[in-house]
Amino acid sequence: MDSARQRFLSWGAPVVELSEDDLALLHALQIAPRVAWLDAADILGAHPATLARRWERLHSAGLAWVTAHLRGDPSEMVLAFVDVECVPGRREEAVAALAVIPEVQTVDVAASQPDLALTVFARNLSECAESILPRLAAAPGVSRIQTELCTRLHSGGHSWRLAALDREQIAAFSALARSEPFTGRLPPACFDLLPLLARNGRASAADMARELGRSPATVHRQLARVIGSGLLSFRCEVAQGPAGYPVACKWLTKVPPGQHAQAAAALGGLRNVRLVASTTGQTNFTIVMWLRTVADVMTAELALQERIPGIELVQSTVMLSSVKRVGCLLRPDGTATGEVVASPILIE
């Protein structure tokens, strides 16, 4: 195996934009986004106050943030991938209009046609077809849209890891991430917590109690039910460039029917993978990776063909930038602005 392939499969050269301590903390929060600093300190060998200050520095700079969003299970809601072609010279106008639509959870700017790649949440097909898609098509600067529906989300950004911890540390944080399951129906009052958690996935019960005008004990109980229900996916996100992976590439592919689960499993060893989804449309299998350089696109494609016999790579698109990621608005350098446009499913 040549050195380029080996580097790709082994996760590449060390990230220099963030310190090793920063990376360890962020990897810990990717596994257990709401872990207490006292518990994290025992595993990382650091003082709780040091971890709190480190997180505040990263968060304040927009380099990392914790959010909560719907899991995107196609059996419970509609998850759509929408490609957008823009009127020549009006792409920025289209980006500005689409980014503030709550149902549009992710907006990526592409290097080629289509101009934009969107991820859209909807309650059902009727809402998607009759309300959301027409609104996208009518947005200023948009000339055409094409939609594929997700039929199975095999993996997403919530499962992407920085690979900065050893196995024992990963196991320890994984144990802390487990929660007591809640199988009953969530009381209506619990849904008031969802937009607050979308804005800050580490918000404490005391913080939310003050904002909602409730007792901390009540909110603590409601929070435990929300977390235990599995309704939300909590994730620690990082600014793509500073984390050392400034290139995002999306592949639209065809995989033989009946082999999607095996194909998704075969990609499990590639830590660069950010998304694997089965879809409707002319292609049926979508893959997104974060890479270090554009040159790694070809290396990634070779890895895909090796791991998934019979895969047909129909289209590859490199993303120039991300404007919005699961509701969080981003600056041109990929750092978070702190503003969240939460899905209306979380609010209503």
- Find the CATH number of the domain harbouring 208: 1.10.10
Strands 142-155 and 232-238: unpaired
Answer whether the bond into residue 114 is a cis peptide, omega within 30°.
yes
Give all strands (DSSP E) within 111-260, no chain letters.
116-122, 142-155, 232-238, 247-254
What is the rounded distance in angstroms from the CA atom of residue 122 to the CA atom of residue 74?
Answer: 10
Tell me whether residue 47 is in a domain.
no
State residue 132's pLDDT score: 97
pLDDT above 70 covers a percentage of the chain that reads 94
What is the rounded distance in angstroms from the CA atom of residue 171 to the CA atom of residue 123?
Answer: 35
- pLDDT digit string, tens, across residues 147-176: 999 999 999 998 999 989 999 999 999 999
Tell me whether residue 195 is in a domain.
yes
- Residue written as token pair 């619990």: 190
Tell me whether residue 285 is in a domain.
no
Give all strands (DSSP E) within 190-335, no chain letters.
232-238, 247-254, 273-279, 285-291, 312-325, 328-330
pTM beyond cutoff 0.85: yes
Task: Give the burial class of 185: count Cβ atoms within 10 A of its Cβ; 0-12 exposed, 13-18 middle, 19 or more buried.
Answer: exposed
State residue 55's pLDDT score: 98
Tell me whether residue 46 is in a domain.
no
What 3-state DSSP class applies to 306? helix
Strands 312-325 and 104-110: antiparallel
Tell me whether residue 51 is in a domain.
no
What is the rounded distance in angstroms from the CA atom of residue 322 to the CA atom of residue 325?
Answer: 7
Say what the alpha-carbon torsion angle 292, 295, 298, 304 is, to the nearest 10 degrees. Answer: -10
Tell me whether residue 207 is in a domain.
yes
- pLDDT digit string, tens, across residues 188-242: 999 999 999 999 999 999 999 999 999 999 999 999 999 999 989 999 999 998 8
Task: Write the DSSP assignment of 218-230 as a string of letters.
Answer: HHHHHHHHHHHHT
Number of domain units in the chain: 1
State residue 17's pLDDT score: 64
Name the nearest CA neighbour of 222 among 198, 199, 194, 202: 194
Q: Residue 36 CA to chain centroid, in angstroms? A: 22
Under 8 Å between Cβ of 7 and 23: no
Tell me whether residue 217 is in a domain.
yes
What 3-state DSSP class applies to 338? strand
Q: Which residue has the higher pLDDT, 179 or 66?
A: 66
Q: What is the mean pLDDT of the chain?
A: 92
| Residues of the domain holding 213 | 183-229
Banded model confidence at residue 73, pLDDT cuts 50, 70, 90 = confident
Structure tokens at 280: 């409707």
Tell me whether residue 16 is in a domain.
no
